[in-house]
Structure 1
Amino acid sequence: MPSSQVPRNVLIWHVHGSWTESFVAGRHRYLVPVDAERDADGRGLAGRTWPQATEIPVGELSDTDVDLVVLQRPADIELVTRFCGRTPGIDVAAVFVEHNAPRPYAVDSVHPLADRSDIPLVHVTEFNELMWDNGSAPTRVIGHGVADRGSLYTGEVPAAAAMINEPVRRWRTVGADLLAPLSRHVPIEVWGMGTEGLEHDPRCGGEVRGRGDVSGAAVLDEVARRRVYLHTARWTSLGLSLLEAMCAGMPVVAVAATMAPLAVPPEAGVISADLGVLGEALARFVSDPAAAEVAGKAAREHALAHYGLDRFLAKWDRLIEEVCA
């Protein structure tokens, strides 16, 4: 077997579930730390079924052969040093995946690894790479990868669907304040952690319904029954939920912020910073199922071409070999 095909032992903390699910679908052996508390530093698989991933107690890490560490939080560097007895970038190969757009201000945000030339900094969008001050860190962009579950879209329910985690707490960041005014045009149903609180929040009136946190693939089945997908985030990385909805065949109406204008082509929906335009687009798709279906097909084609899982894993394979070599 050529060296480029040798599976590596990759240590990765379970930080972002959807992204991790795509990442561990590759051909390597993925070691996911677990502790007795199953807290943020030892969540393990958290009930997920990932065939290539194995839970490993943090107490066993020092005796475990690790080829590559995937860092996702600045604190992960200290965790690797403490539990593995090795320094990332020096004693063991490492990459840092930056999932987030810089906060609070792009112009003043220096990345925590900006002075580390020994650890590649991998951004999940070109927007993030541009907005962060990366200093001397070598950077790479590897966009999201989405598994294709087929065209799930039926659009039988004349309403808009959104997927937003913790909208009440994250409010303006995720554009939760836009839900009420947009719901004057069409009913809006929202899935995700903490969405039940939307209906009890005095800031959110109108035809907005929180549907709660539906686990696994079931949520996309429900979302795809709605006529159009709504993406309201003001300042975030490109959400996997948006790409999953596109891959399912849903037309999109999205706020023109961060990476969304580059991820959603004009034929797949409407992208705008004008609330009136967004509302009219929602109403048009809900009232015209044929137009919604055409845009949804374009969204699916674009998502498969640009955010397919095979392409994502192939790019990671090349980087993993490069760093481990």
Structure 2
Amino acid sequence: MSVVSSPRSVLLWHVHGSWTESFVAGRHRCVLPVNRARDADGRGLCGRNWPRTHEVSLCDLYDEHIDLVVLQRPEEIELASRWLGRRPGLDVPAVYVEHNAPRPFAVDSVHPVAERSDIPLVHVTDFNRLMWNNGVAPTRVITHGIADPGLLYRGDVSAAATMINEPCRRWRTVGADLLTAFGQKVPIDVWGIDTDVLSECITNPQVRGRGDVPTAALLPEVARRRVFLHTARWTSLGLSLIEAMFIGMPVVAVASTMAPLVVPPEAGVVSADMDTLSRALTSFVTDGAAASAAGKAARDFAMAQFGIDRFLAQWDDLIDECCR
């Protein structure tokens, strides 16, 4: 067993809230840039209570002791160079976390750090690492990990639940267009950013936008629905799917990207056939016992594969390796 080193000081931008919440739960001191506009380049904590995480204004970053920069967007290489006065990968160790499946092309997209052998590239799924053209960048996979929210599943509402951010804007990418057809079979409650205006792009009254709700209040409400629906066509493995499995929900998922590899047969139905998915939704909504049994299997799998302790241990190893 390797010797545990001292905590490091890590600079990262607040890009993906759920992933960041897991990352900052580790033992390292995390620095989040903040600016007056609180925009994408300086969101800071966004009101989160993360004890080992500190907001630092952009103009004060130059004087901060930073051991490692965690990059998540191409523009952050230039941002870090400008505000730190140190170049990521050259003057200060850096890693790049890629949260997304390759775009715009499934197999021909060259990653922004593909020519950087000095910046390790961390993918969140094996599928993403396989599909991106990673060039000479050293790659590894650290899959998602979350703190166990507990077995919350009740399934007392005979409807499906899903969580999709900006469904009208992201439309086919997140499979929001499929909700109309599925909504002809069962009621569907949709949570996430801009779902309060979902009726502007989906007129089926059985598809109901529930708005953007904090996680603590969201998961108990989602858990009241009978089944979780995952419609994404071309996104990375969403944390919402993992959260649904953790709380004990059965899953019906479109068979795309990583989903077929993280929903075992006993935990639900994964298919590219719309009729198969529709029948599965109807079956789970009408058969509470089958839904509960599949939900238990989903929770068992999620706990075994996506625990936060494994996630943080893998990040500790990589951070120590980069900072040696």
Q: Indicate the residue corresponding to 2:161 in structure 1.
A: 161
Q: Distance in 2 between matches of 1:6 and 1:117?
A: 26
1:279 to 2:275 alignment: no
1:51 to 2:56 alignment: no
CA drift at 1:4? 2.8
| Aligned AA (1:304) | M
Q: Check whether the contact 1:143–1:312 (CA below 8 A) recurs between aligned residues.
A: yes
| Aligned AA (1:306) | Q
Q: Indicate the residue corresponding to 1:190 in structure 2.
A: 190
CA drift at 1:315? 0.5
Structure 1: give runs of 5+ residues left out of the alignment.
Answer: none
Q: Indicate the residue corresponding to 1:36 in structure 2.
A: 36
CA drift at 1:216? 2.7
Q: Distance in 2 between matches of 1:173 and 1:204?
A: 19
**DSSP 3-state at the match of 1:107:** coil
CA drift at 1:205? 2.0
Q: Distance in 2 between matches of 1:3 and 1:311?
A: 17
**DSSP 3-state at the match of 1:312:** helix
Q: Indicate the residue corresponding to 1:116 in structure 2.
A: 116
Q: Indicate the residue corresponding to 1:74 in structure 2.
A: 74
Q: Check whether the contact 1:153–1:249 (CA below 8 A) recurs between aligned residues.
A: yes
| Aligned AA (1:274) | D
Q: Indicate the residue corresponding to 1:306 in structure 2.
A: 305
Q: Distance in 2 between matches of 1:316 and 1:262?
A: 22
CA RMSD across the alignment? 1.0
Q: Check whether the contact 1:80–1:86 (CA below 8 A) recurs between aligned residues.
A: yes
Q: Distance in 2 between matches of 1:264 and 1:29?
A: 34
Q: Check whether the contact 1:191–1:211 (CA below 8 A) recurs between aligned residues.
A: yes
What do the CA deviations read for 1:81-136 (whole angstroms, capped 9, x no partner)? 10000000011000000001111112220001000000000000001001100000
Q: Check whether the contact 1:10–1:68 (CA below 8 A) recurs between aligned residues.
A: yes
Q: Indicate the residue corresponding to 1:320 in structure 2.
A: 319
Structure 2: give runs of 5+ residues left out of the alignment.
Answer: none
CA drift at 1:204? 4.2
Q: Distance in 2 between matches of 1:22 and 1:193?
A: 20
**DSSP 3-state at the match of 1:217:** helix
Q: Distance in 1 between matches of 2:97 and 2:121?
A: 6
Q: Check whether the contact 1:160–1:228 (CA below 8 A) recurs between aligned residues.
A: yes
**DSSP 3-state at the match of 1:159:** strand
| Aligned AA (1:172) | R
Q: Distance in 1 between matches of 2:11 and 2:93?
A: 10
What do the CA deviations read for 1:36-65 (whole angstroms, capped 9, x no partner)? 111110100011111111111111111111
**DSSP 3-state at the match of 2:174:** coil
> TM-score, with normalisation over the residues of structure 2?
0.98
What do the CA deviations read for 1:264-307 (whole angstroms, capped 9, x no partner)? 11110000000000010011111110110000000001001000
Matches within 5 A, 1:235-250: 235-250=234-249
Q: Indicate the residue corresponding to 2:212 in structure 1.
A: 213
Q: Check whether the contact 1:184–1:206 (CA below 8 A) recurs between aligned residues.
A: no
Q: Indicate the residue corresponding to 2:152 in structure 1.
A: 152
What do the CA deviations read for 1:205-241 (whole angstroms, capped 9, x no partner)? 2510000111231111110000000000000000000
CA drift at 1:200? 2.7
CA drift at 1:3? 6.0
Q: Indicate the residue corresponding to 2:221 in structure 1.
A: 222
| Aligned AA (2:147) | A
**Aligned residue pair count:** 323
Q: Distance in 2 between matches of 1:301 and 1:3?
A: 31
Q: Check whether the contact 1:181–1:206 (CA below 8 A) recurs between aligned residues.
A: no
CA drift at 1:24? 0.3
Q: Check whether the contact 1:10–1:69 (CA below 8 A) recurs between aligned residues.
A: yes
> TM-score, with normalisation over the residues of structure 1?
0.98
| Aligned AA (2:296) | K
**DSSP 3-state at the match of 2:31:** strand
**DSSP 3-state at the match of 1:5:** coil
Q: Distance in 2 between matches of 1:60 and 1:200?
A: 43
1:295 to 2:294 alignment: yes
**DSSP 3-state at the match of 1:97:** strand
| Aligned AA (1:104) | P
Alignment identity in percent?
A: 67
Q: Distance in 2 between matches of 1:31 and 1:252?
A: 36
Q: Indicate the residue corresponding to 1:14 in structure 2.
A: 14
Q: Indicate the residue corresponding to 1:86 in structure 2.
A: 86
Q: Distance in 2 between matches of 1:43 and 1:9?
A: 19
Q: Indicate the residue corresponding to 1:101 in structure 2.
A: 101
Q: Check whether the contact 1:151–1:247 (CA below 8 A) recurs between aligned residues.
A: yes
Q: Indicate the residue corresponding to 2:175 in structure 1.
A: 175
| Aligned AA (2:252) | V
